[in-house]
C-alpha cells in the first residue's frame, strides 16, 4: 500500500503519518508515503495555484494546470505503474467515508489523495482524474489534509502487518456492523466501579455471548442507524 498526497502543506501530512502506529508502518516499509507539493507547479511568478471563480462569488478556486501536473508527478512515483491508482478527492460533497470504503481502498496498491483548499478545485480537472469523491462528515474544514489523514489512518490499519496482536482490528467497532463492546483492564475495582464479573470468570463462551449482547445494546443506544442496518441484514424489520 502506497499513499501519494497532493497538497499545499506536505509537512502537515508527513508529520502526522510518521507518528505512532502508522509511523512505525511507514518506517518498516509496510505503508509507503509520498507527498507532492502543489506549489511547485504554480503557473505564475507569485507561486500561487488559485484564481478568482468565473461567474463571481466569494473565495478563490484552485486551478486546473497545477493540479494536473502534480497528478502526473504522482503517477511517476507509483509503486505499481501498471495498475491505475485510486484518486481520492476529499470533499464535503462526496460519499461519507466508512469502514467498508476503508477496506476497499486497502486493497489498492496506490491511492492518491487530492487535498483542496479555498473554494475547492476547478471541476474540469476533477472530472479528468478523480475516481472517488469522499467526505468524513457533513461539515466544512479549511482544507483536505485532515480528511486525508483520517482516511489514510483508517486504511493503513487494515493493511496486513500494520497492526500487531495487541492492536488487532478484528474486534473493533464496525467490523461486524456493530459498535464494540465495553472494555476493562486492571484494577478490577476503581472508584467503586467493578469490572463485570463475567469477564473474570474464565468462561470464554459466556464472555463472547456477553460481549455480543453488549455490542448490540450499545449500537442500539448510540447508533440507531447502524442497528437498523444490522437487523435488516438478518431479515429483521
* Burial of 2 from C-beta contacts in 10 A (0-12 / 13-18 / 19+): middle
One domain, residues 111 and 214 = no
Q: Rounded to 5, what percent of the chain is helix, strand, coil?
A: 40, 20, 40
Q: Is 139 among the domain residues? A: yes
The pLDDT assigned to 165 comes to 67
The pLDDT assigned to 168 comes to 65
The pLDDT assigned to 45 comes to 85
One domain, residues 124 and 178 = no
One domain, residues 204 and 150 = no
The pLDDT assigned to 167 comes to 53
Percent of the chain topping pLDDT 70: 96
* Burial of 165 from C-beta contacts in 10 A (0-12 / 13-18 / 19+): exposed
For residue 131, which of 74, 183, 186, 86 has the smallest C-alpha distance? 86
One domain, residues 95 and 65 = yes
The pLDDT assigned to 172 comes to 66
Domain that holds residue 229: 173-233
Q: How do residues 150-184 score in pLDDT, each as one tens digit?
A: 999 999 999 999 998 655 665 566 778 899 999 99
One domain, residues 145 and 110 = yes
Q: Is 167 among the domain residues? A: no
One domain, residues 98 and 205 = no
One domain, residues 6 and 65 = yes
Domain CATH for 229: 1.10.1270.20
Task: Quickly state the pLDDT bin for 229 (edges 50, 70, 90).
Answer: very high
Q: Is 70 among the domain residues? A: yes
One domain, residues 177 and 138 = no
Q: Is 80 among the domain residues? A: yes
One domain, residues 143 and 205 = no
Q: Is 163 among the domain residues? A: no
Domain count, the chain: 2
For residue 122, which of 72, 64, 42 has the smallest C-alpha distance? 64
Amino acid at each position: 500500500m502506497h499513499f501519494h498526497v497532493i497538497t499545499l502543506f506536505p509537512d502537515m501530512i508527513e508529520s502526522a503519518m510518521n507518528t505512532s502506529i502508522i509511523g512505525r508502518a511507514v518506517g518498516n516499509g509496510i505503508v509507503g508515503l509520498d507527498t507532492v507539493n502543489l506549489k511547485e507547479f504554480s503557473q505564475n511568478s507569485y507561486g500561487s495555484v488559485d484564481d478568482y471563480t468565473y461567474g463571481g462569488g466569494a473565495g478563490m478556486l484552485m486551478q486546473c494546470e497545477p493540479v494536473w501536473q502534480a497528478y502526473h508527478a504522482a503517477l511517476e512515483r507509483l509503486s505499481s505503474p501498471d495498475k491505475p491508482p485510486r484518486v481520492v478527492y476529499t470533499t464535503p460533497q462526496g460519499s461519507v467515508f466508512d469502514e467498508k470504503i476503508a477496506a476497499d481502498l486497502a486493497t489498492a496498491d496506490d491511492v492518491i489523495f487530492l487535498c483542496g483548499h479555498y473554494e475547492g478545485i476547478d471541476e474540469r480537472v476533477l472530472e479528468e482524474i478523480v475516481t472517488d469523491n469522499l467526505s468524513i462528515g457533513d461539515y466544512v474544514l479549511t482544507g483536505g489534509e485532515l480528511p486525508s489523514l483520517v482516511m489514510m489512518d483508517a486504511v493503513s490499519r487494515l493493511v496486513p502487518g500494520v497492526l500487531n496482536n495487541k492492536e488487532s482490528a478484528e474486534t473493533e467497532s464496525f467490523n461486524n456492523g456493530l459498535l464494540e463492546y465495553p472494555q476493562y483492564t486492571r484494577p478490577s475495582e476503581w472508584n467503586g466501579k467493578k469490572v463485570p464479573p463475567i469477564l473474570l470468570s474464565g468462561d470464554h463462551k459466556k464472555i463472547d455471548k456477553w460481549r455480543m449482547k453488549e455490542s448490540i445494546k450499545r449500537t442500539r443506544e448510540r447508533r440507531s442507524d447502524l442497528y437498523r442496518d444490522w437487523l435488516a441484514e438478518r431479515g429483521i424489520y
